[in-house]
């Protein structure tokens, strides 16, 4: 098969790496890819969010499968444009991608289909949002309706913070994404990401994963795209997993089908495990980043086969197997991230780090300048490792992370630690 992968981040590096292992992947192309992805796939310089450019590239390549990594091309209708020309695409239509591209759409859809989620009110104006605040106690959550690259959710501790968030959103800080908002009840509990491969009708749950969104240890500091993740089956009991399948994934797929917009691709359920049961915080319509790195490092089986089957509407059970007990990914970030940061700083120690057993280094924001890897983004590298226990996977990640150096580099040293502490006697 000839496969065209859209995207350029750490998630796409992991997807490319995993697809490269497939005997079915005869040629792999990445649009636009990155210097790191170019070691696995032939790069195509084009804009992945412009349907015309993607169609033109596809016209040259004739891919047997197009895999769309990020949400922006999905929201821009790139999958529809490709399908209209007869290409097999892994990734939902623009209409189905509204589950991520509009939080108001997603909330109304969940309410309509009885999918458990936080109570919320959709507000079209600043005045309406201010009025809605009265119906909730603090802390409460304010969410921009549209895509905001992780910056669209504010947990407001008091009225002043809520007012500031609303003023920023309706004042245009997030562009069109913030011109409508949700005012939402704040839920407490442990967060889990559960991803399902979907073919429009059937689904296959992947193992659960947990992301660490705050920039600093102990879940402090501002939100980021994700500072690390791990995956281990025991994050969810079999009963909870079953409950989420039946109360969330199944009705979501049935609802989308009934609306004439069947969901095909990854349905990413961001869940809060509350005392009253699991609640959906958000849907995403694509693989998570960095959850995917922590998941794929555990995976066995043929990712190309699984994605092609989903794209063709013939997903088979156990399309992917996860034989390793645990996977983890620790993100090494630029100094200043998630605020402003410098680019072009040389990265040292990559080769030594990569030689460690069970470790794979996924590049999120790097570039190759005259044979030297340099930083080129906020999240620079994801150090991923599999293990026979979560402790082993994490030890491998951190041992490899210590080999890597670049000016200003920082990372969280507590990825997965809460889970380790919950299952082991406290260390002295």
- State the residues that interact with ligand GLY by CB under 6 A: 211, 226, 284, 288-289, 291
Nearer of residues 42 and 190 to ligand AMP, judged by Cβ = 190
Q: Does position 282 bind ligand AMP by CB under 6 A?
A: yes
Is 141 near ligand AMP (CB under 6 A)? yes
Would you state the structure tokens that stand for residue 342, as one six-digit string? 């410098």
C-alpha distances in Å from residue 290, one per residue of 11, 209, 227, 301, 379: 6, 10, 8, 20, 10
For 8, 30, 409, the CA distances from 376, given in Å and listed in that order, are 12, 18, 12
Q: Could you tell me how far CA 65 lies from the centroid of its own chain?
A: 21
Alpha carbon separation from 265 to 23, 91, 190, 211 (Å, rounded): 22, 4, 26, 20
108-137 binders of ligand AMP (CB under 6 A): 118
**Peptide bond before residue 338 is cis, with ω within 30 degrees of 0:** yes
End-to-end CA separation in angstroms for the chain: 54
Stretch that binds ligand AMP, among 37-45, 68-76, 121-129, 180-188 (CB under 6 A): 180-188
Please give the residue whose beta carbon sits closest to ligand AMP in the complex: 282
* SS3 state at 116: coil
- Nearest distance in Å: CB 184, ligand AMP: 5
- Contact between 155 and ligand AMP by CB under 6 A: the answer reads yes
Measured from the CB atom, the residue of 154 and 360 that comes closer to ligand AMP is 154
Among 177, 183, 187, 256, contact with ligand AMP (rule: CB under 6 A): 187
| DSSP element (H, E) containing 395 | helix 390-401
Distance between CA atoms of residues 142 and 165, nearest Å: 7
When asked if residue 281 is in the footprint of ligand AMP (CB under 6 A), the reply is yes
User: Directed axis angle between helix 126-133 and helix 159-170, to 10°?
Assistant: 160
Closest CA to 226 of 244, 210, 239: 210
Task: Determine, following the binding rule CB under 6 A, whether residue 245 of this chain makes contact with ligand AMP.
Answer: no
Q: How far is the CB of 142 from ligand AMP (least distance, A)?
A: 10
Contact status: 46 vs ligand AMP (CB under 6 A)? no
Among ligand AMP, ligand GLY, none, partner that 141 touches (CB below 5 to 8 angstroms by kind): ligand AMP
Q: How far is the CB of 291 from ligand GLY (least distance, A)?
A: 5
For ligand GLY, the nearest residue by Cβ is 288
Please give the residue ranges that form the binding site for ligand AMP (CB under 6 A). 118, 141, 150, 152-153, 155, 184-187, 191, 213, 270, 281-282
């Amino acid at each position: 098969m000839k496969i065209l992968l859209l995207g350029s981040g750490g998630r796409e590096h992991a997807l490319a790496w995993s697809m490269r292992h497939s005997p079915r992947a005869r040629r792999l192309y990445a649009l636009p890819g990155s210097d790191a992805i170019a070691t696995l796939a032939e790069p195509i310089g084009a804009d992945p969010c412009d349907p015309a450019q993607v169609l033109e590239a596809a016209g040259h390549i004739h891919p047997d499968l197009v895999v769309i990594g990020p949400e922006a091309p999905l929201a821009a209708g790139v999958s529809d444009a490709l399908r209209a020309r007869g290409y097999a695409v892994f990734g939902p239509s623009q209409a189905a991608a509204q589950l991520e591209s509009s939080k108001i759409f997603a909330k109304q859809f969940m309410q309509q289909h009885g999918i458990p989620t936080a109570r919320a009110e959709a507000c079209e104006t600043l005045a309406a949002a201010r009025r809605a605040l009265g119906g909730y106690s603090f802390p409460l959550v304010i969410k921009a309706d549209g895509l905001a690259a992780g910056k669209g959710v504010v947990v407001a501790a008091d009225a002043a913070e809520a007012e500031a968030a609303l003023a920023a959103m309706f004042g245009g800080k997030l562009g069109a994404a913030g011109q409508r908002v949700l005012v939402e009840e704040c839920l407490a509990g442990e967060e889990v990401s559960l991803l399902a491969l979907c073919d429009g009708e059937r689904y296959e749950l992947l193992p659960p994963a947990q992301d660490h969104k705050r920039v600093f240890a102990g879940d402090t500091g501002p939100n980021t795209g994700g500072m690390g993740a791990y995956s281990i089956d025991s994050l969810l009991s079999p009963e909870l997993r079953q409950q989420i399948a039946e109360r969330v994934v199944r009705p979501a797929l049935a609802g989308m089908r009934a609306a004439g917009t069947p969901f095909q691709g990854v349905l990413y359920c961001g869940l809060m495990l509350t005392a009253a049961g699991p609640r959906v915080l958000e849907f995403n319509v694509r693989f998570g980043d960095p959850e995917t790195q922590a998941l794929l490092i555990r995976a066995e089986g043929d990712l190309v086969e699984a994605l092609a089957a989903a794209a063709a509407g013939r997903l088979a059970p156990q399309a992917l197997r996860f034989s390793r007990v645990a996977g983890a990914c620790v993100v090494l970030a630029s100094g200043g991230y998630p605020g402003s940061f410098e680019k072009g700083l040389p990265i040292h120690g990559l080769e030594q780090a990569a030689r460690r057993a069970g470790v794979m280094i996924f590049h999120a924001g790097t570039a190759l300048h005259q044979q030297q890897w340099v930083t080129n983004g906020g999240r620079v590298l994801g150090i991923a490792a599999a293990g026979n226990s979560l402790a082993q996977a994490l030890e491998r990640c951190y041992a490899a992370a210590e080999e890597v150096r670049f000016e200003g580099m920082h990372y969280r040293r507590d990825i997965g630690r809460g889970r380790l502490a919950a299952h082991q006697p406290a260390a002295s």
